[in-house]
C-alpha cells in the first residue's frame, strides 16, 4: 500500500485572496473554514479524500522570505496553453523570471502572493 496526497497546505498572508485565486484557476469550491482563518478548497462534489488533493490556505503574518522548495504545475483541460495563459493572467497571475532560456514549453507564473507555479503545455482530460 502507498500513500496518496490528500491536501496541500499553503501559508498565506491573505487566505481569502489566495483561496479565491486558486479556486478560479482549478475550478475548486470552498469546502470549509477553520476558526484560525484557514480556508479549504477542493473539487466540487468530491471534497477531502477525493481523487484530487484539496488546498488549505492557512493565515501567516510572514511574507515569503525566499525561494519555495515546492511549486504547483497546472495543465489546461479545455483550451490550449496560450488561451489558458491569458485566463490565468486575467485572474491575477504574473509572469516570473527564474532564469528561463525562452525555449521552455511551460510558463513560470506567480500567484497573487508571489508563489511560483508553472503552466505546462500538455492539455489533460478533465476528471
| Residue range 72-121, pLDDT digits in tens | 999 999 999 999 999 999 999 999 998 899 899 999 999 999 999 999 99
| R_g (Cα) of the chain, nearest Å | 15
Among 14-18, 21-25, 28-32, 99-103, whose mean pLDDT is lowest?
99-103
Q: How far is CA 33 from the centre of its chain?
A: 18
Q: What is the pTM of this model?
A: 0.85
Show the domains of the chain with their CATH numbers.
7-60 (3.10.180.10), 69-127 (3.10.180.10)
Say how many CA atoms lie within 13 Å of 116 toward its Cβ: 14
H/E run at residue 22: helix 15-26
All 3 cell numbers of residue 25?
Answer: 484557476
Whether 66 has a pLDDT exceeding 70, the answer reads no
What is the rounded average pLDDT of the residues 56-68?
79
Give DSSP secondary structure letters for 104-127: -SSEEEE-TT--EEEE-SS-----
Say how many CA atoms lie within 13 Å of 9 toward its Cβ: 4
Amino acid at each position: 500500500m502507498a500513500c496518496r496526497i490528500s491536501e496541500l497546505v499553503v501559508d498565506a498572508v491573505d487566505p481569502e485572496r489566495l483561496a479565491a485565486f486558486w479556486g478560479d484557476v482549478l475550478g475548486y469550491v470552498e469546502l470549509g473554514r477553520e476558526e484560525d482563518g484557514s480556508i479549504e478548497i477542493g473539487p466540487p462534489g468530491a471534497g477531502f479524500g477525493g481523487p484530487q488533493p484539496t488546498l488549505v490556505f492557512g493565515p501567516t503574518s510572514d511574507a515569503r522570505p525566499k525561494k519555495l522548495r515546492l511549486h504547483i504545475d497546472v495543465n489546461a483541460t479545455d483550451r490550449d496553453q496560450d488561451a489558458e495563459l491569458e485566463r490565468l493572467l486575467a485572474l491575477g497571475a504574473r509572469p516570473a523570471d527564474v532564469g528561463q532560456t525562452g525555449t521552455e514549453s511551460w510558463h513560470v507564473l506567480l500567484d497573487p502572493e508571489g508563489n511560483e507555479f508553472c503552466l505546462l503545455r500538455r492539455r489533460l482530460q478533465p476528471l
